[in-house]
Structure 1
Amino acid sequence: MNEKFASARVLVMEDEYFLAEDITKALLGLGLMVIGPFATRDKALSSLDLDRVDAAILDLDLAGGIDFAVADALLERRLPFVFATGYDAAAIPPRFVEIRRFEKPCDATELARHIVEMTRESLPIPCDR
């Protein structure tokens, strides 16, 4: 695996245990590092302040209901992310119109491959020195 992808760190915010586990395994299988998974907005936001995050996968409906605070924080930081959600596009505010939405149940491997493509486009390429 290219060192660029091996160093990519992906925040996962998902409160469904088995889906979070599937996503984590798929990301690790492609050589990405996983931050989380987090089942709450507050833990994910705290991690954004403490950890280096290169991309993220976000569920929108956590225990407290639908929430866009983490998505807004990622937009503010100009970090790439996707939604993995059971909500249709109409439930997502217009400011996120460009954000890819994977409808649950989604294929964790397809989701992870999309993250690889996103990190390929956004991470700096290491020097060969």
Structure 2
Amino acid sequence: MKIDDDFRVLVVEDEALISMLIEDMLADIGCKRVDVAPSVEAALDSLTKSAPDFAMLDINLNGTRSFPVADALASREIPFVFLSGYGAQGLDQVYRDARVLQKPFQLGELETCLESALG
């Protein structure tokens, strides 16, 4: 997969170690611009400053669901994937067709997910 230098990814993840691992994986596939937000508020704030090309959202952020971020992304037609240790179980019915990348995931799974989301 070839990613251009301007490709930006927003990672919404409350666990610092996991967000660092995701950043490393994204760097391994050529993503040079990664923004990390540990909460819904930080993610929504990030979206007011820049528009990512793709986003990765942990479903559960310290007990708060990331659905407001998903709604904001969907309204701007920005592709995203949910991240979860429980698969699609934590999703509300409205997101039943959303992509879910189950943690822990491998680099190849992330790459496949990106390719699928971006067509």
How far apart, in 2, do the equivalents of 1:108 and 1:40 lie? 24
**Residues 5 and 99 of structure 1: CA distance in aligned 2, closer, same or farther (over 3 Å):** farther
* Whole-Å separation in 2 of the counterparts to 1:90 and 1:18: 23
Question: What's the CA shift string for 1:17-68, capped at 9, x where partnerless?
Answer: 1211111011112111343211111111111111121110000111242231
Alignment of 1:7 onto 2:15: no
1:58 alignment partner, SS class: strand
CA distance in 2, matches of 1:33, 1:45: 21
Give SS of 2:4's match: helix
What percentage of aligned pairs have identical amino acids? Answer: 34
User: Moved runs in structure 1, 4+ residues, more than 3 A?
Assistant: none
Amino acid at match of 1:69: P
In structure 1, what is the equivalent of residue 31 of structure 2? 32
Once superposed, what is the RMSD of the aligned Cα atoms? 2.1
What residue in structure 2 maps to residue 76 of structure 1? 75
Q: Is the contact between residue 15 and residue 62 of structure 1 (CA under 8 Å) also seen in structure 2?
A: yes
Asked whether the equivalents of residues 26 and 112 of structure 1 are also in contact (C-alpha less than 8 Å), the reply is no
- 3-state SS, counterpart of residue 11 of structure 2: strand
CA distance in 1, matches of 2:112, 2:6: 15
TM-score, length basis structure 1: 0.78
Count of aligned residue pairs for this structure pair: 119
Amino acid of the residue matched to residue 73 of structure 2?
L
CA deviation profile, 1:83-104 (whole Å, cap 9, x unmatched): 1112342431222222111122
Aligned position for 1:127: none
TM-score (norm 2): 0.84
2-side partners of 1:36 and 1:109: how far apart? 21
Q: Which has the larger radius of gyration?
A: 1
Give SS of 1:10's match.
Answer: strand
Unpaired runs of 5+ residues, structure 1, are: 122-129
Distance 2:99 2:11 in 1: 15
Secondary structure of the residue aligned to 1:7 is coil
Q: Which has the higher contact order (CA 8 A, sep 6+)?
A: 1
Q: Secondary structure at the match of 1:32?
A: coil
Q: 1:117 to 1:90 in 2, by over 3 A?
A: closer
